[in-house]
Structure 1
Amino acid sequence: MTPTQSSASGSSSSGGQNDPKNRYGRQIEEAFEAASRLAGSALSPADFYQQFLNRTLAAIDAPAGAVWLRTPQGFLQIACQVNLESVGLENRRGGRQCHNEVLRQVFQAAPPRPLMLEPNGRLAPNQAAPAAAAGDPSIPAANLTDYFALFAPIVTPDKAALGVLEVFQDPALDPKLYPTFLNYTFQMAGYASQYHQFSNARSATGIERTFTQVEGFARLVHGTLNPTEVAYHVANEGRKLIECDRLCVGVRHARTKVTVEAVSGADVVEKASTHVRRLRKLMESVVAWGETLTFKGVKDAGLPPDVSYSLDEYLNESQPKLLVVLPIRDEREKDQSKPARSVLVLESFNPPEDAAPMTQRLELVAKHAAPALYNAAELKRVPLKFLWWPIAKVQEGLGGKARFYTVAGVAAAMVLIACMIVVPYPLRMEAKGHMQPVEIAKVYAPREGQIRRVLVRPGDKILPGDAVAELHDAQLEGEYRSLLSKVNEAQAKRDTAARMLGNPRLSLEERLRVSAEESLAQLSVDSSRKNMGSLDSAFNATQARPGWFVAKTDDFDRRLKRPVGASKWTVLNDDRRENLVGRTIRPSEEILRVGNLEGAWQVELKIPQRNIGQVMRAFADPKIQKDAGGRPYLDVDVLLASMPDDRFRGRLYQDDVAAEAVPVKDEHDENEPVVTAYVKLNLDDMPAEFRIPEQQFVTGLEVRTRVRCGDHALGYSMFHGVWEWFYEKVIFWF
């Protein structure tokens, strides 16, 4: 048991249950147990020190504290703190500088030892260690606060300083407790030292595990001689070892041309894509340069022009914060004038501050990948080795190499042409579109007016007939005011006539005249109120607020099916309040758009005019598929932008294809007429594997589709665009 624990236990046996020493003794023992558990945990340093500091302060009811740790440059930096701003370091002139001087001396003291300063107390000359005394003599080491300041060093097993634990204690306690608090702080700092010791041990275990992974990686990449397989093993397994975001592998099969063989995380390398083409250009320029290219957010001005240009082009496509292009050369590549056979590209989008370990792991991966890629590339250079013997026999029987090549070319051409004519293949017409609910409604103002308030936000659920915006129209207000004036005037006439009819001395002739005036006044009141009611119903207005009216949502289409309880519209627009409030809206201008997200969904397609003919011919095919109701339809392959690796299925009915083509700007900013069509999704009789997950139903999501227009000859399905161009430009011309 530690001295502090012994003294705390003694006080516990001699004092009462409410004695501060007894209470603090129990709390200190509990804090030691909690700190011991934290020291052996696998928490990150930030989480450990936050929990550790909270537990340290709670045990002795300290109001504030902090943990300071050494940076790689050797300075102290705060790791975590609790209420440090409340102790008043800034209240007195020079308070922060004096406090920092105390921290420096405690941190540099040799041997390490705890330190306590009374409120507004200074460090005595005999308390400063010789190794720590060489500071600025104009800044004294002092505690210029109203609290006791307790300092304890955090050290390594060989007594090297790691940091300082600092605790501020209330000065109103029994003075005999403060030495106990100091000893307690020193021992808690020891538990922090143990945490670093255990963390280093875990790091050593991680290094052993890394060597095991490297050994497995080496066996894997040398297990095949297929260049693509080797490259994918290097990319995927090497990325795990390096702990980067992306690792790409390129192999030089020709003299200067590099092939992007593998990209980590991608099953297929789309060599025609812009990203892969720019990556290949970057690889080729760096391989030709022969040096390692390292980009950490700022481009080196001394790069060769080709490397600099290809780097700029690639950074326009991908924006990594760390990019390393490393040409790797096998020991058997003796000719240094030739470029390296292989190249690795490391990309990290959120690299650590110190990227040196990642670069070292890349070099380790390159050391094992270089011979494996070299072996696979050399084997690939051997042409058709498994066909040598039978090809040689056939070539000999035909009478020479030239005749063999001629016969083989003619046979291959005939087989290819036969396949193009005989083999059936589905003809697919491409079209782009956007996903949307089947049931969408636009909200308009019932009349022209100025929007004063928008009542809904994006994503709000509202009922049919709910108000979405409040508007005001001065003309409507004038109409209300005029009608109210007529009502008041008519009511006044009616009341005057009623009072006159109550006069018994009124003659019969005058009584008839007054009675007629009363009837006319009542008719005027009723007519004006009826007109006001018409305004209320026509413009969603109210007599209580003349000139004010609201825009409401429409009712649901009762012909469409919807799940039980799905009876609300969802606001689809973004937050448009800043653009709408204060703006005068005409009845033809859309205010908001709402949709029934719980109902059916569809894809709004824009079919180019060059493809609509094939679609309509497919509907005329008597072998076309039909649903349970006998309606013919075409299957549509659907590819979502949010799930590019999965293919889903939809249906296109003929009555969902518009009969009019409208011009739309294409990707080249040219007007190309398109035909709008709607593809139904997730119908009841569709198999489950063809249905789109409901969480992917997002209004406006970009969708790429291919409409299946029946089986045609393989050649026509693949090259129908070429045939149509040839027919239009050549045959039709004659």
Structure 2
Amino acid sequence: MTEPVPSDENLKKVRERVMQLAREIEQLSGQELPAPVFFQEFLTRVVTAVGARAGVAWLLDESGRLNLAAQMNLEQTGLRETPGALGINEKLLIEVMQTGEARTLTHGGEAKLPTEHVLVLSALHKEKKCVGVVELFQRPDVPIKAQSGYMQFLEQMCGYASRFLEGRRRSLETNADLKNQFWTDFEQFSLRLQRSLQEQEVADAAASDSRALLGCDRVSVAIRKGRSFRIRAVSGQSSVNGRANLIVAMRKLSRRVIEMGETLVYTGKIDGLAPQIEKPLAAFVQESGSRMVMLVPMFENEALVRKQGEEEDRERRKKRPKATGCLVIEQIAESEPAPQLEQRAELVADHVGAALWNARQHGRIFGLSLWKLIGRMLEWFRGRKLAITAAVLLGIAALVAVMTLYKLEYPVKAEGKWMPVEQHAVFATYDGLITRDGIRIPPDQLVRKGDILIVLQNDELDGQIEEAEASIQKQKNMQGSKQEEIRAT
């Protein structure tokens, strides 16, 4: 009975198998094969490496429409049988063509999927233009942690396919036209870096544009803020997942390089490297599968106006510039860096570092939004607008002064009534008629508490008073008669 193979050994065998398939795809990219034959072999190896259910390679035709160049197990996905699935799938392919970025689409996300499968898509490039898309149909129950790994692997393999479409790698050092093109592209690259003062926008532009400029497979931007280190941008990705294994390994390696402040170049051998670099470098190479890795540090900007003098020069030489980040440049297919890659990478790193440092200094301004608002308001008062505004304000001030200092009579004809300066409402207990004789207080006379002001005339009350008086008189008469009777007895 044989012993079960340990899980670590199984994992090692799987990694070796995947790397073997990647090397086979690399070899195919350098062969002269018809496009359908290449992509059929390409899909066979990619689908096998990631364990997908199916795969499709789409290429643009002369009319600009996507056509199926090769497929593997497409009939098992139900894409053609499901009503409306082809239209939904075409829309997703067009979105990838427009952005040029690899994507992983799952159910429950923003995009509607044509089938039950998880889709992994990556664009194919030729002469810096998207000319096709490779689409993998992955199992619905694929772990979320593995999805980013599948996308990165497919993106790397699409780099080989793009090289196959290019036909051969351009030699920048021997072709004068390409040299001129490099400096033209570099000028556009530098211009785009300076168009924004937002650190994230500068990092995204640096990662996406420097990849094509340097002719490598992937460029990442790592930065340092205080004691924290972060991967700010990765080419081909709209956002960075800080918990991904590749990003974690890249951050650890970048931290060592930034702390040293020296360029690190890995071409397949770790011999001769510092001990603190070997372990994070080995972990990163294992996760990324890159054959060449170059990390170029970026430094703070030096002051444009320097103090003159021997002592200042001596202190400046003693002071070591502080690294604020680094560029991580990777080649998947070749272990030897392209000619002049290191020199051009350092040139790019200087410009990227300066742009990031300016953006960081700009973001440190306290109350930046408020100052921007005030600045926009003050900017409006420039040139002729300032003179017009001053003239209008002076005119308004003069008008107010004239209206305040000079008073003019303004006759008005109207009907009015005299009203007392002070008046108070007085309410009687009963309703009644006010007569001339009932007014007991003459005009302009002060009254005191308890004074009778008005006597009201009320016929009903007068009748009640008369009845009461008659009743009283009757009672008095009866009382008098009784008293006389008593005296008589």
The structure that has the greater radius of gyration is 2
**TM-score, length-normalised on structure 2?**
0.36
The structure with more strand, counted as a fraction of residues: 1
**TM-score, length-normalised on structure 1?**
0.25
